[in-house]
Each structure stands twice: as C-alpha cells, then as structure tokens.
Amino acid sequence: MSRRAARAGGKMLVDKFMNYFNKYSNWFSVLFYTHFLRSAPAVIRLRNGVKIFTNGELSAEWIIQEIMFKGDYEQHGLKIEENDLVVDIGANIGVFSVHAATKTRNSVFSFEPFETNFNTIKKNAEINALGNIKPNLMAVSDKAGSSKLFLSNMNGGHLLFNRDNVKGLKKYIDVKTTTLQNIMDENDIKIIDFLKVDCEGSEGAIFSTAPKEYLQRIRKIALEFHDNVSSLKHEELSALLEKSGFKTFTSWDGKSLFGYIYAIKK
C-alpha cells in the first residue's frame, strides 16, 4: 500500500470515528455494535439528549442518520414547525415520530402494524417524555378492517401484500387496517400539517383511495416510494397529488425503484 493510500485510509477511519463521537454519547457502543456485531446497542443515545430503543436492529442506526441528521423527510422547504399536527404512516420503531415530537408542540399520530415495533414506539415516547406521540397498532391502506402482514427478516420490511417474486415472503400475521380518511375522521383531524409515509409499497393504495377533499386538507407530504410493488408508480403519485393542489418535488437517481416525493400545498 502506498503512503498516499495509507493516509487516505487513515483519514477515512478518523472521519468515521469523529462522526460517531460527535453524534452519539454512547458512540463506542454504537460503533462496536454496528461494525463488529452487525446489530445495534439496546439504546442509542444522541448528544442532544434523545434516546432511541432499537430492538437490536442494525438498521436502527442508519434510520437515525437518515431522519435526524440527513433530514431525508425534510427537503425542498418541508419542515416540521412548532405547531404542526403530524401523521407518521409506517412508523417502525418511532424514530421519525420522536424527531417530530421534539419539534412540534402538537400531536404526532404514529401508525405501525407490527406489535414489536409498536411497543418500541411507546418505549421511545416514554423514555423521551414525549406525551404528544399517539401510537396506533394498525396498518394504513385502502380499506378499514384487517389484512395479512407478510413478515420480512428486517422489522422495517414487513408489508401488506406478498412480495413473493422479490423476497419470497411466506410468513404472515393478521393486522388491523385503516385509511387516511378514517385517520382524519376518527381523530377529529381538520388539517394534517405534515404527513410522512414509508409503508413498503402501500402508498399507492393509500393515496388512490383517499378522497380529493381529504388530500386537500394536508399541507405537507414527505413519502418514500417503492416502484417495485406500489399500485401507483412515483410519476402517478406525483400527478395525483398535483391534481389535488400540491406542488411536488422528486428525489430520485433516475434508475432506482426507490426514492422520495415531497409535496407542498400551493
């Protein structure tokens, strides 16, 4: 190895060390677990005082990076403001819900169908003293009732339809389902200020069946799209939202099946 390559490698190592040190108060545990044990410590503690129960999921640390440091759901002028009512669809272990609840004084309604994740959302709300998080054990789709939730090896990969041709998912559990309209009606929500959606492909079902007058009662939307499985591709989702009065922006590399749509009410 040349001296230049050795110096470059050493700098990368120092940068990685400093990245963990600057962001996490238990930085050594996070670094050791993620890079050597291929999991996560039970709790990740941020320098700003926020604590996240992880269920030991390796993905927890990069979800924290994605949401709390890179701000992947707050692009193109979308911000969670101090009085925003927030709805988090596909809440997983509650990282976005915690993030939102530290920024707004209003309610954060979290929807997550997998019970282990749901219980972790409640723990994360409790240890951060965030009483404005309202967890709901249900999936959001095109109908209210129940559905099969097919189980992935990752707690963030469970989905409402069998993606057998992609991942060979066989195991499933029955979960309660609701709709965007029902969320607003049953919780007496007049306006959703910020809607975050990451639901492993159910976004097409959610938005295609939401009445236009309900979509018009949403101010800001940040959603991750899954063109491999959603009933609406991202171009169709953007067109639907624009017809409902939104200006949309797409974050996409032009090739991947995944990306983000950001929508702001005109």
Helix (H) or strand (E) holding 182: helix 180-186
The model's confidence at residue 4, banded by pLDDT at 50, 70 and 90, is: low
12-42 per-position pLDDT tens digit: 667 778 889 999 999 999 999 998 899 999 9
CA 105 remoteness from chain centre: 20
On the question of pLDDT at 166 being above 60, the answer is no
Residue recorded with tokens 């990245």 = 19
pLDDT value of position 215: 98
Tokens of 230: 């959603």
pTM: 0.92
pLDDT value of position 11: 59
Domains and CATH numbers, the chain: 1-67 (no CATH), 71-265 (3.40.50.150)
Contact predicate 245/213, CB 8 Å:
no
Q: Over the chain, what is the mean pLDDT?
A: 91
pLDDT value of position 9: 45
Contact predicate 102/130, CB 8 Å:
yes
Segment 114-120 mean pLDDT: 95
224-244 per-position pLDDT tens digit: 999 988 999 999 999 999 999
The model's confidence at residue 245, banded by pLDDT at 50, 70 and 90, is: very high
On the question of pLDDT at 5 being above 80, the answer is no
